[in-house]
């Protein structure tokens, strides 16, 4: 999947912009605050329905406007077909369209627009809360495993009910059906995650060897979220939650299960993951992202769109060159921003929210 045309309206400081993107490396240059990141944010919205930047959903709408919209013509089926997707944010919430028709769920759009992003806050992927890493893991599964979303939603619904019972001191008998439901969904959910992580092991090692060989061999460390409890089937999962009810009631939430899973990269030459420097954490996060790019292409035949926000400020010249070479070899469509010169097949200049193409080759 690659974007041919991108139209942005009233998103942050971009009042109106239309970009014809090339299938390879697209560079957006300009001063800080010019609107470069807003262009990346527009693409990200098509794939996630929210921004990768901090702040509430309403902040993406330009001051003085009541809605922000993003529209894209995307080439799918290995370039043989074109689909038109759009997303709008207003006071009434989100609205999505596919080929001119309203969609009932935004996930219909997200499947058509797989996007991964490396930005100045990506180092926190290693040092921050497990929730962010879990979301990255599940993003990958959503795109390569057709049944994942249904299993994930089923588990989340049952988990929400169990947590409500914990907070309201529900009777023990009320827990049993929800824990059974959780266990059935969790069994398949955990299987999918383990298969995915196992498949990524080789790809993480490959990416790390190309991007940061100085850190030694890399491997993915996965924790299933059960901590010291051993579960391997539906019965043991139900039993685990049953034995935890008293302590879970005290805390008011379910402390163990796949909703507490975690994964990170460990390098042979480095110590504890929690003690990585900011630079090491950036490289670790980038290795995870690029390994997912590799896996996505291996399974689906095409890579996701890759966003690199302020790459020159985040990596030194050597690592920048390695990233760009890797993505070119994967035939990925890339949007990269920076304040100076950028390696690009097509270059755009952004100033005060106005986007101008400098090279229309």
Residues 28-83 pLDDT 10s: 999 999 999 999 999 999 999 888 886 655 579 998 899 999 999 999 887 789 99
Q: Which of 300, 325, 340 is the last residue of a domain?
A: 300
Cβ neighbors of 34 (< 8 A, separation 6 or more) are 350, 351, 352, 353
Q: Are residues 184 and 217 in the same domain?
A: yes
Domain with 108 in it = 1-114+304-361
Which of 261, 280, 300 terminates a domain? The answer is 300
Q: If you ran DSSP here, which 8-state letter would residue 135 be given?
A: H
Write down which residue in 250, 267, 300 finishes a domain.
Answer: 300
Other Cβ atoms less than 10 A from the Cβ of 181: the count is 18
Number of domains in the chain: 2
Instruction: Report yes or no: 133 and 123 within 8 Å, Cβ to Cβ.
Output: no
Given this model, what pLDDT does residue 79 score?
77
Answer yes or no: are the C-beta atoms of 144 and 295 closer than 8 Å.
yes
pTM, two decimal places = 0.93
Same domain, 213 and 100: no
pLDDT digits (tens, 9 = 90+) for 179-231: 999 999 999 999 999 999 999 999 999 999 999 999 999 999 999 999 988 88
Whether residue 316 sits in one domain with residue 197: no
User: Is residue 120 situated within a structural domain?
Assistant: no
**Same domain for 21 and 170?**
no
Whether residue 50 lies inside any domain: the answer is yes
Nearest to 175 by CA among 186, 165, 185: 165
Q: How far, rounded to the nearest angstrom, does the alpha carbon of residue 145 sit from its chain's CA centroid?
A: 15
| pLDDT at res. 225 | 95
Same domain, residue pair 278 and 249:
yes
- For residues 42 and 139, membership in a common domain is answered with no
pLDDT of residue 52: 87
pLDDT at 137: 96
Distance (Å, rounded) from C-alpha 9 to C-alpha 42? 9
Note whether 26 and 345 are within 8 A (CB). yes
Residue 314 CA to residue 338 CA, distance in Å, equals 10
The domain that contains 148 carries what CATH number?
A: 1.20.1050.90
In a domain, 144, yes or no: yes
Q: Are 148 and 190 in contact (CB under 8 A)?
A: no
CATH number for position 343: 3.40.50.300
Indicate if 274 and 349 belong to the same structural domain: no
Residues 282, 134 share a domain? yes
SS (H, E, C) 265-330: EEECCCCCHHHCCHHHHHHHHHHHHHHHHHHHHHHHCCCCEEEECCHHHHCCHHHHHHHHHHHHHC
Tens of pLDDT, residues 108-154: 899 999 999 999 889 889 989 999 999 999 999 999 999 999 999 99
Q: Following CA atoms 31, 32, 38, 41 in sequence, which dihedral angle do they give, to the nearest 10 degrees?
A: 120
Residue found by looking up tokens 């069994």 in the block? 187
Output the pLDDT for position 85. 97
Residues 141 and 219 in one domain: yes
Coil, strand, or helix at residue 157?
Answer: helix
Helix locations, the chain, DSSP H: 36-48, 107-112, 124-127, 130-144, 148-167, 172-211, 234-243, 245-251, 278-300, 311-314, 317-329
252-265: per-residue pLDDT in tens? 999 999 999 999 99
143 and 282 inside one domain: yes
Residues 174 and 98 in one domain: no
Q: Residue 36 and residue 19: Cα distance in Å, rounded?
A: 12
The reply to whether 289 and 311 lie within a common domain is: no
Is the confidence at residue 274, as pLDDT, over 90? Answer: no
Neighbours of 47 (CB within 10 A): 24
Whether residue 123 lies inside any domain: the answer is no
d(CA 97, CA 103): 5
d(CA 261, CA 249): 21
């Amino acid at each position: 999947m690659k974007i041919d045309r991108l139209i942005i309206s009233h998103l942050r400081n971009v009042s109106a912009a239309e970009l014809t993107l090339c299938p390879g490396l697209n560079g957006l240059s300009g001063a800080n605050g010019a609107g470069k990141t807003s262009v990346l944010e527009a693409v990200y919205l098509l794939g996630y329905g929210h921004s990768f930047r901090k702040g509430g959903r309403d902040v993406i709408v330009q001051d003085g406007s009541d809605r922000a919209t993003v529209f894209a013509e995307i080439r799918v089926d290995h370039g043989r077909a074109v689909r038109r997707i759009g997303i709008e944010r207003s006071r009434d919430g989100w609205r999505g369209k596919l080929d001119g028709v309203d969609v009932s769920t935004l996930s219909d759009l997200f499947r058509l627009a797989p996007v991964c992003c490396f930005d100045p806050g990506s180092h926190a992927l290693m040092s921050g809360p497990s929730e962010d890493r879990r979301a990255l893991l599940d993003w990958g599964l959503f795109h390569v495993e057709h049944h994942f979303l249904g299993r994930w939603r089923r588990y989340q619904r049952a988990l929400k009910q169990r947590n409500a019972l914990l907070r309201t001191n529900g009777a023990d008998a009320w827990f049993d059906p929800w824990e059974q439901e959780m266990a059935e969904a969790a069994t398949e959910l955990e299987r999918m995650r383990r298969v995915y992580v196992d498949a990524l092991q080789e790809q993480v090692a490959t990416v790390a060897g190309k991007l940061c060989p100085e850190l030694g061999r890399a491997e993915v460390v996965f924790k299933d979220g059960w901590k010291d409890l051993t579960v391997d089937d539906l019965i043991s999962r139900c039993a685990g939650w049953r034995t935890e009810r008293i302590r879970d009631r005290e805390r008011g939430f379910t402390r163990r299960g796949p909703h507490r899973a975690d994964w990170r990269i460990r390098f042979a030459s480095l110590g504890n993951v929690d003690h990585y420097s900011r630079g090491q954490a950036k490289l670790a996060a980038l290795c995870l992202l690029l390994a997912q790019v590799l896996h996505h292409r291996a399974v689906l035949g095409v890579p996701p769109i890759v966003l690199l926000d302020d790459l020159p400020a985040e990596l030194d010249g050597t690592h920048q060159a390695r990233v760009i070479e890797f993505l070119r070899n994967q035939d990925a469509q890339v949007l990269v921003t920076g304040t100076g010169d950028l390696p690009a097949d097509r270059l755009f200049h952004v100033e005060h929210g106005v986007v101008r193409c400098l090279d229309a080759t």
